[in-house]
Structure 1
Amino acid sequence: MKTLITLSICFMIHFLHAQKQVYKDQFAHTFSIVAKDEKTGEMGVAVQSHWFSVGTVVTWAKSGVGAVATQSFVNPSYGPNGLQLMEEGLSADKALERLIRMDQGEAFRQVAFIDKNGNTAAHTGSMCVDYANHISHKNFSVQANMMLNDNVVPAMQYAFMKYDDLPLAERLVEVLKAAQKAGGDIRGKQSAALVVVGPEKAEHPWEDKLVDLRVDDHKTPIKELERLLKVKRGYDWMNKGDLAIEDNDIEAALDAYSKAEELLKGNIEVTYWKAVSLWNADEKEQAIPILKKIFKQDKNWKTLTYRLIDSEIISASAEELDKYFDN
């Protein structure tokens, strides 16, 4: 009996010490998803919380390795350490199990891993604030804590399965929208983040993230995240247009630029660089009326165009530009 009492006291001291340490950790009571697209092999993580800049601590991912969401009383080390273990060959469940065993504050943690094979693992500690739960399946895990009700996590699961026709990034946003519609964070809304990585390891670090978006402080962060994703898709089309110009495929370039303009309505810069690219492809008849319209809207774009000459970004001389745009 004395031994049992001693062990019980030691456990309580250990627990209280862990609890004291945990309360020093950053909050990120929230809902999130880690997932893999079966068709493309892309992996991603998305999150929303009533906490400033949630994406700086919750979301972790690496191409060809996997993704991690670490939340509640956040231990950020689950992110890099989890990715490292999965990169070394451990499955999601083995990697998470190892880190949980080492964490004195595991009762306060909520963590989810997904590896490159679509294996998932999640942990919702016994001290996470209700409503707290997770659902993990092959290729996705949804988790939430401090929710208004217990409908949030099931709603996330349903949304991920429903929107399987969407690209992974858009699909993850739909999951966040479903969570919010079901009740969301009991405290409300503030920040959101979205990261998507590729199925293969990136050759260079700057190529690792296919999508990397954050809304740090906003009244409607998921709506803003969705808007930013749309803008990102528009600029993706711009890049495709530029590549088509380099290949002298004007038809493909115009198609790409048109799709970019459709997504980025009112963005004068998109139209401007389209015109510059057309000019450089010796399609001046198409470029000139576009540039004239832009210069009429804002003369600074005309000034910039002349400055592009010395940097050889536009294939023109000042005299040639004067010929068409001197008025």
Structure 2
Amino acid sequence: MAAMSRIIIAALLLSVTVQAQDARQAPTAGDGPDPWFGTFSIIAFDPATNELGVGVQSRAFGAGAAVPYAKPGVGAVATQASANRQYGPKAIALLEQGLSPAEVVKRITDEDPGRDTRQVAVIDAKGRSAVYTGKRVIDRNHDPKDLVHLGGFAGFAAGPNFSAQGNTLASEDVVKAMAAAYQAGKGSMAERLMDALDAGQSKGGDTRGMQSAGILVVKPLPANSDSTVERIVDIRVDDHEEPFKELRRVLNMTLGVPNRLTERSAQLAKEGKFAEAIAEQKKALEINPRNEQAMYALAQRYAQAGDTKQALEQLGHAIRRQPKQWKPQAVADPIFAKLASLPEFKKLVLP
């Protein structure tokens, strides 16, 4: 019995030893082409609004959750390539201690044995930025054995209050286009970040393609503010064939674009410009296709234009989603007065 116990214990010890050796020998991110993911991003600070932001796209799942970090009044970080997610919180903490972005980047990369596989960009609330691109991130673009990354570009283009950076890019034109688009932008920071990402993609973007994207924008709370929202934009698309198209749609929802389009549509209808009013309301519905208020508003526009068939169809969509709200509202709505006697209308609105 004792001999049998010794055999079992020895077998268990051997199993543990083999597993430990396997773990030590297992490939880590950066050991070959598979763990690497091409990414391009932009970090920015707006001195007019004190907003800090990050925009990112990658041929990897969930880049919007892994790459961007930001803290209001402190700074923003993009960690990518074979990303070290500890860079984000570490960099923010060092910025809070008063280190410059250049000092922060040097500190976190000096402490990282895997720094040659990293790319990281840091910006502070003074608009100063610094970027580090590891040697292996650059060298892989010239390695004839690495067919995934061969011929790609890794680097950055920086200017006052921003930096655009990437790896496995079609060319340096990607980051140059991002820089130009951001500087030329006229909208909010989030919109300018989105425009910069689009511009980078227009020059070829990530040579491996597209999969995920994200935008993060933070802003300090005003003194004595009742608001608790510091992350004024925090959106991402984790897995999509057209991540930028979807990201812009979500951004438009975040910025309240459908509501503004609905208001404009109503005003155009009052002016008798029904075709334009319908077109604007359709745009609102395209951005937020499951919003029954937008459906109801489109029904109103069709009714005002005299298109009974389309008015009833859109009204039906709204009522089926929220019958308790839209049935009584449609009955009392003077815009639908001419439809009230129709059997189809009665069927929609009656209990």
TM-score, length basis structure 1: 0.69
Q: 2:200 aligns with which of 179, 182, 185?
A: 179
- How far apart, CA to CA, are the structure 2 residues paired with 1:294 and 1:177? 33
Q: What amino acid is the match of 2:205?
A: G
Q: How many residues align?
A: 269
Deviations 1:268-289 (A, max 9, x none): 4334899xxxxxxxxxxxxxxx
Aligned to 2:292: 269
Whether 1:29 and 2:3 are equivalent positions in the alignment is no
Unaligned 5+ runs, structure 2? 1-23, 142-152, 268-279, 298-311, 327-348
Deviations 1:49-85 (A, max 9, x none): 1111111111111222221100011100011111122
Whether 1:215 and 2:242 are equivalent positions in the alignment is no
- How far apart, CA to CA, are the structure 2 residues paired with 1:59 and 1:224? 18
Unaligned 5+ runs, structure 1? 1-16, 242-250, 252-259, 275-291, 307-324
Task: Give how far 1:303 is off.
Answer: 3.8
- How far apart, CA to CA, are the structure 2 residues paired with 1:91 and 1:51? 30
Change (3 A) 1:224 1:109: same
Alignment RMSD (CA, Å): 4.0
Change (3 A) 1:93 1:215: same
Q: 1:51 aligns with which of 52, 60, 75?
A: 60
- How far apart, CA to CA, are the structure 2 residues paired with 1:49 and 1:204? 36
CA contact (8 A) 1:46 1:173 kept: yes
Q: Pairwise mapping of residues 159-308 of structure 1 onto structure 2 (< 5 A)?
A: 159-163=181-185, 165-200=186-221, 207-234=229-256, 237=259, 264-265=284-285, 267=289, 268-271=291-294, 296-301=316-321, 303-305=323-325
Q: 2:71 aligns with which of 54, 62, 78?
A: 62
- How far apart, CA to CA, are the structure 2 residues paired with 1:295 and 1:198? 40
- How far apart, CA to CA, are the structure 1 residues paired with 2:58 and 2:210? 6
Deviations 1:148-167 (A, max 9, x none): 2232122222222222x221
Q: 2:156 aligns with which of 134, 141, 148?
A: 134
Q: What amino acid is the match of 2:195?
A: E
Q: What amino acid is the match of 2:292?
A: E
Task: Give how far 1:88 is off.
Answer: 3.2
- How far apart, CA to CA, are the structure 2 residues paired with 1:84 and 1:38? 21
Identity of paired residues, percent?
A: 37
Q: What amino acid is the match of 1:191?
A: S
- How far apart, CA to CA, are the structure 2 residues paired with 1:119 and 1:151? 23
- How far apart, CA to CA, are the structure 1 residues paired with 2:55 and 2:74? 17
- How far apart, CA to CA, are the structure 1 residues paired with 2:240 and 2:322? 35
Deviations 1:254-301 (A, max 9, x none): xxxxxx967623654334899xxxxxxxxxxxxxxxxx9976434445
CA contact (8 A) 1:31 1:49 kept: yes
Q: What amino acid is the match of 1:222?
A: F
TM-score, length basis structure 2: 0.64
